[in-house]
Amino acid sequence: MLCRKILFVLTIIMMLNFIFVGMVDAEAQINDVKTSNFAYGSISKLINQGIMSIDTKGNFYPEQSVNRFDLSRFVAKILGYDEIILSSAKEGKQTEIKITNKYKNLIDLYEKKFKDWDKNSNMQIAFLLEKGILKELDLAKFVIEYPTGEQSIKVITKQEMAIWIVRIIGKETVASTYKTDFKFADDSQIDDKSKEYVYYLKSIGIFNGDEKNKFNPRTVLRKDILAVLLDRIIETKNNNSQTVTTTPILSTTPTTVPTGVDNKVKLYSGEIETLYDDNYAVKIKQSGGVSKIVNLSENAVVVNQNEKTHIKDMKQGNIVICVEKGSYIEKLYVTTITDINSTYYTLKQELTTQGIEIVEDTVVLNTNMNGESYEVLGTLKQILIADENEVIIEDSNRKKTLYRLRSSSEITLENKKCTIYDLRLGQKVEGTISGVNVSKLMIISSE
């Protein structure tokens, strides 16, 4: 008997040790979110609660956009999905069978309609249908179907999230008739079906405006922003279990995307095949004939010949360089095959000046379509020594073009072999170019 008691106590101690060590590890392993990040506290808390998670490398991917499948999984956990459905108890299994049977035909309908439907979320979606968080018509919004027949998983915006939040905290009756004299500066941009929900959530402190009193209703939710909102939802639900309050939740955490956080972008180029104005998206044909549909952020900037323009001014066949951040295009540079090198140089210099890190660069530069070598004569304006060495040469027409120096590139000065370290800004050079690569570079003189 004594041995059994000792074994029981040791087991409890080991379990507690595992739990607390696991909690500490979960917090310590968030490699891609700094402790100074505005959302770090909420992210850490939700990971420890098992609502959100990190991958095997300890990454959370804070800038990743959120779609309705993702959101369904997170919200289901908050509402007790794991305890009810994943329980080994008989009641849990019976509930699972009941919900599955009840919504099977409905979910099967959308699974067959949308090839991108994430069937791994079917049980959570059924669970939320049963809870009233999702309505049957909401399922049609999980995937976008374009007029061309192509499909892509739809992300969720702030104003769409407002409806979810109100349902989660059980205040749809109150919110749907909520009236206030307060107005956001961009009130006219908020959809009528979301407006009362947005202002109700503002009154209880879940949503706030930015420094210009704008709500930015079409801003796409990122994982870090969602973590803050889910944290506030849990706090509000706990408050609602006692009394209903309209006092704002005290928090210094902003709900808008902060500037200067995680400044990492991807660059790629391609040809515009299709414009989707209503969905603020474009279909881009990249090198090798591969096409993909990408969404533009609400504040996306389109630049054509150094002038800001609008997505509606772009045309099918335009050559573009895209700046993607968090799965959304923030900037589109309209260019041509002839000018793509100089456009790329200007863009890259601009990003570097702003302290923005380019984590992926697949821009296809001018490769001299006939494949033959050609000569360039000009002045060295920039020298970049990195994994891929690059130089910028300005010709007599003051046009700057970027070229790549390979390890096999031959650099000479007065018939003597040199290295990239012998190059100086202002030197007059003559280069033999193949594609965008320098095969030979002769230093003629210094300025």
349 and 397 co-located in one domain? no
User: Do residues 76 and 124 touch, judged by C-beta distance below 8 A?
Assistant: yes
Q: Tokens representing 316? A: 């099918």
pLDDT score for 126: 93
Same structural domain, 381 and 358: no
423 within some domain: yes
Burial class (CB in 10 A: 0-12, 13-18, 19+), 372: exposed
**Whether 427 and 398 share a structural domain:** yes
What's the one-letter identity of residue 383?
A: I
pLDDT given for residue 274 in this prediction: 83
Residue 286 and residue 307 in one domain: yes
Among the candidates 340, 362, 384, a domain finishes at 362
Rounded (to 5) percent helix, strand, coil in the chain: 35, 25, 35
Three-state DSSP at 32 gives coil
- Domain assignment present for residue 331? The answer is yes
Q: Residue 358 falls within a domain, yes or no?
A: yes
Residues 306 and 381 in one domain: no
Q: Residue 354 falls within a domain, yes or no?
A: yes
Domain boundary (342, 362, 382) is at 362
**Does 316 fall in a domain?**
yes
Q: What is the CATH number of the domain that holds 287?
A: 2.40.50.320
pLDDT score recorded for residue 91:
55
Same domain, 378 and 436: yes
pLDDT of residue 112: 92
Query: Is 7 part of any domain?
Result: no
pLDDT tens series, the chain, 447 aa: 545 544 554 454 444 444 444 444 444 479 999 888 888 999 999 998 889 998 888 899 998 999 999 999 999 999 988 777 655 455 555 666 778 788 999 999 999 999 989 999 999 999 999 999 999 999 999 998 877 778 889 999 999 999 999 999 999 999 999 999 999 999 999 999 999 999 999 998 899 888 889 999 988 899 999 999 999 999 888 776 543 333 332 333 333 333 334 578 889 998 888 887 555 678 888 876 777 778 777 778 888 887 888 777 888 888 999 998 877 888 999 998 878 877 887 888 788 777 788 888 888 877 554 556 778 899 988 887 766 788 888 888 777 787 888 888 899 988 889 888 888 888 999 998 877 788 899 998 765
Domain carrying residue 311: 264-362
Would 432 be classed as within a structural domain?
yes
d(CA 291, CA 70): 25
Three-state DSSP at 305 gives coil
Residues 413 and 340 reside in one and the same domain: no
DSSP 420: G
For residue 408, what is the domain's CATH number?
2.40.50.140
> Could you say which of 362, 395, 413 is where a domain stops?
362
Domain total in the chain? 2
Q: How far is CA 369 from the centre of its chain?
A: 35
